[in-house]
Amino acid sequence: MNHRNPERSAASPIITVRSAVSEDRHFMIKSEIECFAEHRRSTTRSILHSIKSSNQQVLIAELDWGNGTTESAGVAVAFIYKRSLRLYSLAVLPQFRRLSVGETLLQATISLSMGLGNKRVTLEADATNHSLIQWYQKFGFEISKILPDYYQKGESAYRMIRRNTEHSDRLIIVTDGIVNLSSLTDCGVVTATDYLASNTGFSGPNSYHVINFCDTHSVHSIGYYVSLMASARNHRVIPSAMTFNDFTDPVVTQSVLDEIQNYLHQKLKNSGLNRIEITILLGKAISNKYFDIGKRLFSLFNLPLFAVVLEKEEKWILRKIETLTLEQVLRNHPEILKNSLIEYQRKRYHRKRKIRKYKYDLAILVNHDEEHPPSCPIALEKFANAAEKIGFFVEFITKTDKHRICEFDALFIRETTSLGNHTYSLSRHAYTEGLVIIDDPWSILLCSNKIYLHERLTHSGILQPKGHLFSKNLYKQEELDSLTYPLVLKLPESAFSLGVFRVENSSEMAFKLNEMFKVSDLVLAQEFLASDYDWRIGVLDNHPLFACKYYMANQHWQIYNWKSEIEEDYSGQHETVPIQQVPHYVLKAALKVAALIGNGLYGIDIKDINKKAYVIEINDNPNVDNGVEDALLGDELYERIMHSIYNRIETERFQTRYLL
Q: 9 pLDDT exceeds 70?
A: no
How far does CA 91 lie from the centroid of its chain? 32
CB contact at 8 A, 539 and 546: no
Q: Which of 165, 200, 220 is the last residue of a domain?
A: 165
Whole-angstrom Cα distance, residue 411 to residue 365? Answer: 7
CB contact at 8 A, 374 and 623: yes
Q: Which of 299, 282, 283 is nearest to 291 (CA)?
A: 283
Q: Which of 321, 353, 385 is the last residue of a domain?
A: 353
Q: What is the pLDDT of residues 71-88, one digit of tens each?
A: 999 999 999 876 789 999
Whole-angstrom Cα distance, residue 461 to residue 637? Answer: 31
How far does CA 412 lie from the centroid of its chain? 12
Cα dist from 373 to 376, 383, 463, whole Å = 7, 14, 29
Name the least confident of 247-256, 476-485, 531-540.
Answer: 247-256
Q: What is the reported pTM?
A: 0.50
Whole-angstrom Cα distance, residue 542 to residue 488? Answer: 29
Claim to verify: residue 324 and residue 432 sit in the same structural domain: no
Q: What is the per-residue pLDDT for 609?
A: 93
pLDDT average, residue stretch 569-593 = 87
Q: Which of 331, 353, 375 is the last residue of a domain?
A: 353
Q: What is the per-residue pLDDT for 654?
A: 53
Claim to verify: residue 431 and residue 477 sit in the same structural domain: no
CATH number of residue 390's parent domain? 3.40.50.20
Q: What is the per-residue pLDDT for 7?
A: 34
Q: Which of 283, 276, 277 is nearest to 300 (CA)?
A: 283
CB contact at 8 A, 417 and 444: yes
Beta-strand pair 236-238/188-191: unpaired
pLDDT average, residue stretch 203-219 = 75
Residue, of 44 and 189, whose pLDDT is higher = 44
Claim to verify: residue 387 and residue 300 sit in the same structural domain: no
Whole-angstrom Cα distance, residue 34 to residue 51? Answer: 20
CATH number of residue 501's parent domain? 3.30.1490.20
Q: What is the per-residue pLDDT for 195?
A: 82
Which residues fall within 8 angstroms of residue 112, CB to CB, at 6 or more apart?
A: 57, 59, 78, 85
CB contact at 8 A, 73 and 65: no
pLDDT grade for 355, boundaries at 50, 70 and 90: very low
Q: What is the CA radius of gyration of the chain?
A: 29
Q: For residue 660, give the 3-state DSSP assignment.
A: coil
Name the least confident of 409-413, 473-477, 513-517, 523-527.
Answer: 473-477
91 forms beta bridges with: 75
Claim to verify: residue 31 and residue 128 sit in the same structural domain: yes
Beta-strand pair 574-576/601-609: unpaired
Q: 659 pLDDT exceeds 50?
A: no
CB contact at 8 A, 536 and 544: no
Residue-number span of the structural domain to which 417 is assigned? 360-447
Evaluate whether residue 517 is within a structural domain. Answer: yes
Whole-angstrom Cα distance, residue 243 to residue 251? Answer: 14
Q: Which of 571, 563, 561, 553 is nearest to 625 (CA)?
A: 571
pLDDT grade for 634, boundaries at 50, 70 and 90: very high
Q: 625 pLDDT exceeds 70?
A: yes
CB contact at 8 A, 76 and 89: yes
pLDDT average, residue stretch 373-398 = 91
Whole-angstrom Cα distance, residue 54 to residue 241? Answer: 41
Whole-angstrom Cα distance, residue 133 to residue 513? Answer: 54
Q: 199 pLDDT exceeds 70?
A: no
pLDDT grade for 1, boundaries at 50, 70 and 90: very low
Average pLDDT, the chain: 84
Q: Which of 136, 173, 1 is nearest to 70 (CA)?
A: 1
Claim to verify: residue 155 and residue 41 sit in the same structural domain: yes
Name the least confident of 160-174, 331-345, 612-626, 637-651.
Answer: 160-174
Whole-angstrom Cα distance, residue 138 to residue 433? Answer: 50
Name the least confident of 38-47, 77-86, 318-327, 410-419.
Answer: 77-86
Evaluate whether residue 541 is within a structural domain. Answer: no
Evaluate whether residue 330 is within a structural domain. Answer: yes
Q: Which of 372, 410, 398, 406 is nearest to 497 (CA)?
A: 372
Q: 44 pLDDT exceeds 80?
A: yes
- The domain total for the chain is 4
Q: What is the pLDDT of residues 121-134, one digit of tens each?
A: 999 999 999 999 99
pLDDT grade for 463, boundaries at 50, 70 and 90: very high
Q: What is the per-residue pLDDT for 563?
A: 56
C-alpha neighbours within 13 Å on the C-beta side of residue 512: 22
Claim to verify: residue 175 and residue 282 sit in the same structural domain: yes
Evaluate whether residue 118 is within a structural domain. Answer: yes
Claim to verify: residue 82 and residue 46 sit in the same structural domain: yes
Q: 356 pLDDT exceeds 60?
A: no
Claim to verify: residue 327 and residue 219 sit in the same structural domain: yes
Claim to verify: residue 152 and residue 206 sit in the same structural domain: no
Claim to verify: residue 200 and residue 305 sit in the same structural domain: yes
Evaluate whether residue 440 is within a structural domain. Answer: yes
Claim to verify: residue 131 and residue 59 sit in the same structural domain: yes
DSSP 4-67: P-TTS-SSPPEEEEEE--GGGHHHHHHHHHHHS-GGGPPPHHHHHHHHH-TTEEEEEEEEE-SS
Q: What is the per-residue pLDDT for 316?
A: 92
Q: What is the per-residue pLDDT for 478?
A: 87
Name the strand (E) or helix (H) holding 102: helix 101-115
Cα dist from 265 to 293, 311, 313, whole Å = 11, 12, 11
pLDDT grade for 192, boundaries at 50, 70 and 90: confident
CATH number of residue 45's parent domain? 3.40.630.30
Claim to verify: residue 201 and residue 285 sit in the same structural domain: yes
